[in-house]
Chains A and B, each alone.
Chain A
Amino acid sequence: MRNVMLFVPLLGVLLFAWLYSAQSLNAIPTAIVDLDHSRGSREFADKLTGAEKLNITAYLSTYQELQEAIAGGRIVVGVVIPKNFEQDVALGRQTRVLMIIDGSNMVYATNASAALLEVTRTVSAEAGIRTLVGSGMQLDQAREAYKPIAFREEAWFNPTMNYAYFLVLALILNIWQQCCTLASAMNVIGETGMKSWLQIKASGVSMTRLFISKSMTHIITFMLMVLPLYFLAFRVLKLPLQCNFGVLMFFTLLFVIAIHSVGTLMSSAVSNAVDASRLGMMIALPSFVLSGYTWPIDAMPPLLQSLVWIFPQTWFFQGLNYLTFKNPGGDFMLPFYAGLIVTAAVCYAISIMLQMWREKLQ
């Protein structure tokens, strides 16, 4: 274990370097809503497909469809071409193209905003100059005096692009989940690794009853720890909470059970409490980064995109973002609930099997 620990900081550097290897966000999922359905609007849409950082993944018919796509996390940027777009451009009238950004993830939002700025400057200038030339102006004059197409940005779910809304709750919960993971890592070895384990074994108390009681105490304590954090976040700091508080607590409870199961598994696998702590730190520390909360999962290397879902922290922080900003509903959240439940079931089952195997070996 010491040899492994020697390489953990190096592994951490390699992991983070790999994680952020894309360096910038490209291929931001974008949808176009063409309400004009004209040749001009189609030409304009074609220009958007050529934008470097935008990946046009959907052509939608209505504003409603765009709303649903952004709320469901399938689209980050929506471009709405208004009715009469072609006509307005031809007549030299100012027209407004609406650019909608999903503000619930600040990393996506700021990158999308920057990408759009590049597009809007170029497209607006070209369109404006063409308009003036079309009306008889010399090209040079047009370049000096064009009327650009006005692009208006709206950040949904986090309209003021407030980093505190995005990061504060997550950072607080990150520290909390690290503490919970470390405490859970003592669940088994905290007893079996101590000399007092002899007293427990000699007493004849049911091991099932003992560890269920201990686990329930842990889980209740973890939930009691999170209550003041949520109070501070939502009542004092007024961070956004779109979902019902009961739903959030239920989701948090599933997460607590899942990380407790992971900690219990680690606790069953090691031979002393120090190793359990080390293993707990190895998982707890990078789990927040790997959760995709700060750096989107879609932007991670392909292999990591699948691997990160092994961690309950990924399910939790992804789900937390949806619940607090968007409240997408029970059906949408089902996979997140299921991911945490399956994690708990698998980890507890393996822990039990490990304990039974150790008993047999004795």
Chain B
Amino acid sequence: MGVQEISPILEAIDLHKVFGKKKVLDGVRLNVYPGECLGIFGLRATGKTTLLHMLVGLDRPSAGLVKIMGSDIRKGDRYKALVGLVTQDKSLFQDLTVAENLDFIASLKGAPQGNITSLIAKFYLQDYLQMAVNSVDAGVFQRLALACALLNAPQLLILDEPVKDIDLYSQHLIMRIIQEFLSQGGACIYGFSNMESSQNMHKVGWLDNGRITVYEPAEALQIWDSLLHSYNNIDGEKDE
């Protein structure tokens, strides 16, 4: 049975978002299936974070709708039990320790305490439990952020730049855990701005001028390289 015969975990239908007079999203459509990682590629200020926040219900679209497991997310918050989120900005509780963050967020999500122990081991957080979150380095922070996102054993992960500017060990660990998650039937929407990361995705949604165009990763990389090449040529002609 192919992926396309299974119902999507998430459907975004004709999403629009306007801030004042600026149109940030202009009819975005996308689907994500179990076991699939959809990358949302966009440079700075293209609306990537806005889109990701809308998909998880943190922000409301000006028009359009989002369905998770077939349910419209406007009609109740039950879908949130199926979703885990890692934000681009540091959104953990800065005045709590690593252990306290795990404990508190597990309480908020109604997640069993047993999940905390297994995630601490999985993300190698044992040495950092008593440290204040605002004192750990970026790699540990992102590992903790993803651990918190997985506390409620979600079926869908929304990740906004989870490995940007962090150490290689943490990057590798996070990507490995995401792959495990996908292999167990989870789905992932992954926001990123470095095209080289696209090789980790199944599909790449290129967000530009408020619209999304979906490519295969290799295709997206090729287009990116062509663009870079064309800009280099323009610069070369100018130099001459």
A residues in contact (CB < 8 Å) with B:
194-205, 362
Task: Contact check, B78 vs A204: say whether CB atoms are below 8 A apart.
Answer: yes
Task: Contact check, B108 vs A200: say whether CB atoms are below 8 A apart.
Answer: yes
Docked CA distance A203–B90 (Å)? 16
Contacts known (A202-B56, A202-B80); A196 close to B108, Cβ less than 8 A:
no
Point out the residue from B56, B60, B79, B89 that lies within 8 Å of A195, measured CB to CB: B89
Contacts known (A198-B58, A198-B85); A203 close to B108, Cβ less than 8 A:
yes
Question: Which A residues are CB-close (under 8 A) to B93?
Answer: 196, 199
Docked CA distance A194–B91 (Å)? 8
Docked CA distance A202–B58 (Å)? 7
CB neighbors of A among B110-160 (8 A): 148, 152
B83 within 8 A of A: yes
Task: Contact check, A204 vs B87: say whether CB atoms are below 8 A apart.
Answer: no
Docked CA distance A205–B57 (Å)? 13
Question: Which B residues are CB-close (under 8 A) to A196?
Answer: 91-94
Q: List 22 A-B contacts (CB under 8 A).
A: A195-B90, A196-B92, A196-B93, A198-B53, A198-B87, A198-B89, A198-B91, A199-B85, A199-B91, A199-B92, A199-B93, A199-B105, A199-B148, A200-B108, A202-B57, A202-B58, A202-B83, A203-B80, A204-B78, A204-B81, A204-B109, A362-B59
CB neighbors of A among B54-87 (8 A): 56-60, 77-81, 83, 85, 87
- Shortest B141–chain A CB gap in Å is 12
CB nearest neighbor in B for A360? B60
Point out the residue from A197, A202, A362 that lies within 8 Å of B85, measured CB to CB: A202
5 closest Cβ pairs, A-B complex: A204-B80, A203-B108, A198-B91, A195-B91, A202-B85
The size of the chain B interface, using a CB distance under 8 A, is 25
B residues in contact (CB < 8 Å) with A:
53, 56-60, 77-81, 83, 85, 87, 89-94, 105, 108-109, 148, 152
Docked CA distance A103–B93 (Å)? 53
CB nearest neighbor in A for B158? A202
Interface class of chain B by DSSP: loop
Contacts known (A200-B108, A203-B108); A195 close to B81, Cβ less than 8 A:
no
CB nearest neighbor in A for B93? A196
Question: Which B residues are CB-close (under 8 A) to A199?
Answer: 85, 87, 91-93, 105, 108, 148
Question: Which A residues are CB-close (under 8 A) to B53?
Answer: 198
- Shortest A82–chain B CB gap in Å is 70
Docked CA distance A197–B87 (Å)? 11
Task: Contact check, A204 vs B77: say whether CB atoms are below 8 A apart.
Answer: yes
- Shortest A332–chain B CB gap in Å is 46
Question: Which B residues are CB-close (under 8 A) to A198?
Answer: 53, 58, 85, 87, 89, 91
Question: Which B residues are CB-close (under 8 A) to A201?
Answer: 57-58
Task: Contact check, B105 vs A203: say whether CB atoms are below 8 A apart.
Answer: yes
Docked CA distance A203–B105 (Å)? 8
CB nearest neighbor in A for B90? A195
Counting chain B CB atoms within 10 Å of each CB, the highest count among A194, A199, A203 belongs to: A203
Known: A196-B92, A198-B85, A203-B108. 9 other contacts (CB 8 A): A196-B94, A198-B58, A199-B87, A199-B91, A199-B92, A200-B108, A201-B58, A204-B79, A362-B60
Question: Which B residues are CB-close (under 8 A) to A202?
Answer: 56-58, 80, 83, 85
Docked CA distance A161–B77 (Å)? 62
Question: Which B residues are CB-close (under 8 A) to A204?
Answer: 77-81, 109
Docked CA distance A249–B53 (Å)? 46
Question: Which A residues are CB-close (under 8 A) to B148?
Answer: 199
- Shortest B66–chain A CB gap in Å is 14
CB nearest neighbor in A for B82? A204
Question: Which A residues are CB-close (under 8 A) to B87?
Answer: 195, 198-199
Question: Which A residues are CB-close (under 8 A) to B77?
Answer: 204
CB nearest neighbor in A for B58? A201
Docked CA distance A194–B133 (Å)? 15
Docked CA distance A201–B73 (Å)? 13
Docked CA distance A201–B79 (Å)? 12
- Shortest B73–chain A CB gap in Å is 11
Docked CA distance A194–B94 (Å)? 10
Task: Contact check, A203 vs B109: say whether CB atoms are below 8 A apart.
Answer: yes
- Shortest B82–chain A CB gap in Å is 9
Question: Which B residues are CB-close (under 8 A) to A197?
Answer: 91
- Shortest A186–chain B CB gap in Å is 13
CB nearest neighbor in A for B133? A196
CB nearest neighbor in B for A198? B91
Question: Which A residues are CB-close (under 8 A) to B59?
Answer: 362
Question: Which A residues are CB-close (under 8 A) to B78?
Answer: 204
CB nearest neighbor in B for A200? B108
Docked CA distance A197–B148 (Å)? 14
Docked CA distance A362–B89 (Å)? 19
Docked CA distance A208–B94 (Å)? 24
CB nearest neighbor in B for A203? B108
Docked CA distance A218–B85 (Å)? 29
- Shortest B152–chain A CB gap in Å is 8
Question: Which B residues are CB-close (under 8 A) to A362?
Answer: 59-60
CB nearest neighbor in B for A204? B80
Docked CA distance A202–B57 (Å)? 7
Question: Which A residues are CB-close (under 8 A) to B89?
Answer: 195, 198
Question: Which A residues are CB-close (under 8 A) to B92?
Answer: 196, 199
Docked CA distance A198–B87 (Å)? 8
